[in-house]
Structure 1
C-alpha cells in the first residue's frame, strides 16, 4: 500500500519554548513572560509560543493519517536540537522527506522508517521531522493492517500483547499548589514534577525545594483517597549541582536528605546536576547512583539533560549511570527509536520513563501511549501542556481505549481457538 500525497499543516504546540540558559542566568518572571534578553541561539525572547507542523500521509484508499513535528520546551539546551522553525522544517520536509514517502510500502513500519530517515548530505534529519513522520507512518501501518499502533510495535519488535497498565506522571508547571491538588484528587500515579527551574524556586541550599517536597507529601495524606500512595517525582533542572556544587558525594547526600524527609514515599529526582557533557554526565551520575544504592536510599535519580538520542540512552543504561531514563520522545526522534530505547533500558535493568514535552500535541501524545504500552515501559508522561487535566485525560483515555481494544482482541482469539 503506497502513499500518494503528503500534506503539511502548521499548528501550535500545547505550551511554550523557553530559553533555559536565560532562566538559569536569573531572568525573572513578569506575569507569564520572562523579563530580560534571550541567550540561546534562535530565541527572540525568553519565552516563545510553541509551534508544530502536522504531516499528513494520503494513502491509496484516500485515508489521511497524521503526525506532528515540534521541539521540546528547552530547545537548544543540554545537547538538544535547535529551536523549531516551521518554515525551515516545512521546506526540508517538502524537498527531502516527501519524495521518499511517495516510494514506500507503508504497511511495513520499521522498513519504512529506515528508508525515510536516511541521512541527507551525510547529516541526520532534524529529530522533529523523524518524530512527526514516524507517528504518521505508525498510524498508516495500523490503518493498513487494521490493528492498533501498539500491535504494530509488538509485531515489529516480536513482543507479546501488553497486559500491564503503565503508570502516568503529571507535571505541575508553575501553578504548583493548585495542580498538585488536581493530581491528588485525580489519583495520579506519579507527581508533581514541580518545575524547579530557578534559584528562587530551589532556594538557598535547597531549602525552598525541600519545603515544597514536604508540603506535597503532607498534602497527599490530607486530601488523597485512603490507600493512595503516589511516587513523588521532582524535576530540579540541575539546581542541586548549581546551588551546592558538582561533587557526586554532596549531591547524593542532599538527595538522601530529601528522601528521608518523606518516609514511606518513593522519591525520584530528575536532573540533579548538569556536568556539561554526556561523558561527564555518565561518569558523575554513575557515582551518584552507586552512593544511593550503597546507602539503600529510597530515592532514585532520573537522567534528562545530556541523554537525548538513542545512542546516549544506550551509554547511560550500559554504565548504570541512572536509575531511570527519561526517553524524551521529540529528542529521540523516530518513535521506532523510542521503542528501542525502552528495550535497551530493560536489557540493562534500568528504568524506562517515556516522557516528552509540554510543547507537544494531542496526536503525538496518543501515538506515544501506544509505543509505551507495547514496550511495557515503567511510566509515561501526561502530555501535552501544563494544565494537568487535559494531558491526563488525553494520555489516560488513550491508554484505556487501547486496553479495551486489546482485551477484545485477546477474548476473540481465545473464543476462536
Structure 2
C-alpha cells in the first residue's frame, strides 16, 4: 500500500434526508391526516411520532492528498417495517461510526473498492453494522476509489465486477407521493419512462375491493394519452404496500385475478404492481410470491409483480431471484447496505432472468442518489428510481443529469481512445 492510497482522517456532518420517516404500521392502522401530519401515537419501535423529519449523517474521508470524498447515511421512509432496520437514530449511528468504523478506515487501502468494503464493513461483535452505516461508508469508499483511479464511480464498479463499460441509459422511474394527479402531469410532461408509484399505502387510497385504486390506474393511462407527446408510452408501475392482500385476500389466485383484471383495463400498457401483498416474513413472502408469479403467467398477462418488503439484503435478493419469486426485484439501496452488495444484487437478478430495479427512498440525499446512478449504469439495471424527495422534478434532475454526465464522459473517453489508436 502506498501513501497516496490511504485515508488519513474522517469528518462527519449532520444533515437532512429529503423527505420524512413514516410509521407504516400506524398508517396501515388508519392514522388520520392533519394537513401534512399524521395524528396519533406511533406503533413501530423507534418512532417518536408517526411522521418524523428524515436525518442523515455525512461521512467525509480525508484522503492523503487532502481531497475529501463523501457518502451519506440514512434510513428509508418506512423504516422498521417489512423486515428492515429500525428508524435512523443519528446519535447512535454517529457513535458506532466514530468508535468502530473510523479506526478501520484509517487502516485500509482506499484504492481497492471491494477489498476496502470487506474490511471496513466487517461484522462487529458478531453482527452486521447498521445498514445505514454500510450504505454511507461504501458510498465514500467508492468515491475514494474513483478519485484515486481518476475515473467515474461507474468505471470502478465495472472494473471490480469485470463488466463492460455502459453505453445505454437506464430507464428512470418517478414516484408521485400524495400529490398524485399534479405529479403524474409533471412526469408525463417530462416524458418519464416509468410512472407514477402512486403511494397506495392506506385503505382510503386503495378503496373497497380496490375500486379507488383501479380508477386511479385507468386515469393515469388516460392522462398519458391526453397530455403526453405523440408516441409516449410509459410503463405503469404502482406500489400498493400490500393492500391487495389486505383488502382482497392473501391467496395467490385472488391476488393474480385482481392484477390480471387490472391489466385488462389498461390495454397496451405494461403494468407493474409492487408489493401486492405482505406475508410477514422473507420465507413466507418467497413462497407466496412464487405462487403469484405462476398464477399470473398461467393467465397469459404481461403484468409484472415487484417485490420490496421482506426482500432487503443481498442474501434475500439471491433467494427471490433464484426462485423467480417476482418478475422484478427492488434493490432498495439503503436496505441492501453496502454499495458493493447493491451492485452484486443487480448481477444476481440478471443472471437469473429477473428484472433488477435499483431503488431506494425519498428520504435519501443527492449524494446517495448519484452513487446509485453509477451502480445502475455500470450493471445495466432494468430501471432506477428518480430520487430523492417527493417533488418529482428534483429526483428526475438529480438522477437523470448524473446519468447523462457519466455517459457523456464515457463517450468522450471512447472517442479519445479511438483517436489515439489511429
TM-score, length of structure 2 as denominator length:
0.98
Say whether residues 1:106 and 2:73 are aligned partners: no
Match of 1:387 among 391, 394, 405: 391
In structure 2, the residue matched to 1:254 is 258
Q: How does 1:298-313 map to 2 (within 5 A)?
A: 298-313=302-317
In structure 2, the residue matched to 1:376 is 380
In structure 2, the residue matched to 1:71 is 75
Computed over aligned residues only, the root mean square deviation of the Cα atoms, in angstroms, reads 0.5
Q: How does 1:6-25 map to 2 (within 5 A)?
A: 6-25=10-29
Partner deviation per Cα, 1:338-378 (whole Å, 9 max, x = no partner) = 00000000010000000000000000000100010000000
Distance in structure 2 (CA, Å) of the matches to 1:312 and 1:120: 21
Say whether residues 1:200 and 2:195 are aligned partners: no
In structure 1, the residue matched to 2:100 is 96
Say whether residues 1:174 and 2:178 are aligned partners: yes
User: Do the aligned residues in 2 keep the contact of 1:75 with 1:81 (CA within 8 Å)?
Assistant: yes
- How far the C-alpha of 1:292 sits from its partner, in A, is 1.0
- How far the C-alpha of 1:416 sits from its partner, in A, is 1.6
Say whether residues 1:62 and 2:62 are aligned partners: no
In structure 2, the residue matched to 1:155 is 159
Distance in structure 2 (CA, Å) of the matches to 1:115 and 1:413: 35
Q: How does 1:267-346 map to 2 (within 5 A)?
A: 267-346=271-350
- How far the C-alpha of 1:29 sits from its partner, in A, is 1.2
In structure 1, the residue matched to 2:85 is 81
- How far the C-alpha of 1:257 sits from its partner, in A, is 0.8
Say whether residues 1:366 and 2:375 are aligned partners: no
Aligned residues: 417
- How far the C-alpha of 1:164 sits from its partner, in A, is 1.5
In structure 2, the residue matched to 1:183 is 187
Distance in structure 2 (CA, Å) of the matches to 1:410 and 1:130: 33
In structure 2, the residue matched to 1:136 is 140
Partner deviation per Cα, 1:141-165 (whole Å, 9 max, x = no partner) = 0011100000000000000001121
In structure 2, the residue matched to 1:117 is 121
- How far the C-alpha of 1:243 sits from its partner, in A, is 0.3
Distance in structure 2 (CA, Å) of the matches to 1:114 and 1:205: 48
Say whether residues 1:212 and 2:212 are aligned partners: no
For the residue of structure 1 that corresponds to 2:126, the secondary structure is: coil
Q: How does 1:203-242 map to 2 (within 5 A)?
A: 203-242=207-246
In structure 2, the residue matched to 1:406 is 410
Partner deviation per Cα, 1:230-267 (whole Å, 9 max, x = no partner) = 00000000000000110000000000011110000000
Listed as ranges, the gaps of 5+ residues in structure 1 are none
For the residue of structure 1 that corresponds to 2:402, the secondary structure is: helix
- How far the C-alpha of 1:293 sits from its partner, in A, is 1.2
For the residue of structure 1 that corresponds to 2:155, the secondary structure is: helix
Distance in structure 2 (CA, Å) of the matches to 1:225 and 1:107: 46
Q: How does 1:29-48 map to 2 (within 5 A)?
A: 29-48=33-52
Distance in structure 1 (CA, Å) of the matches to 2:125 and 2:165: 39
For the residue of structure 2 that corresponds to 1:192, the secondary structure is: strand
Distance in structure 2 (CA, Å) of the matches to 1:118 and 1:137: 14
Partner deviation per Cα, 1:291-335 (whole Å, 9 max, x = no partner) = 111222021000000000000000000111000000000000000
- How far the C-alpha of 1:285 sits from its partner, in A, is 0.4
User: Do the aligned residues in 2 keep the contact of 1:265 with 1:298 (CA within 8 Å)?
Assistant: no
- How far the C-alpha of 1:133 sits from its partner, in A, is 0.4
TM-score, length of structure 1 as denominator length:
1.00
Distance in structure 2 (CA, Å) of the matches to 1:125 and 1:239: 32
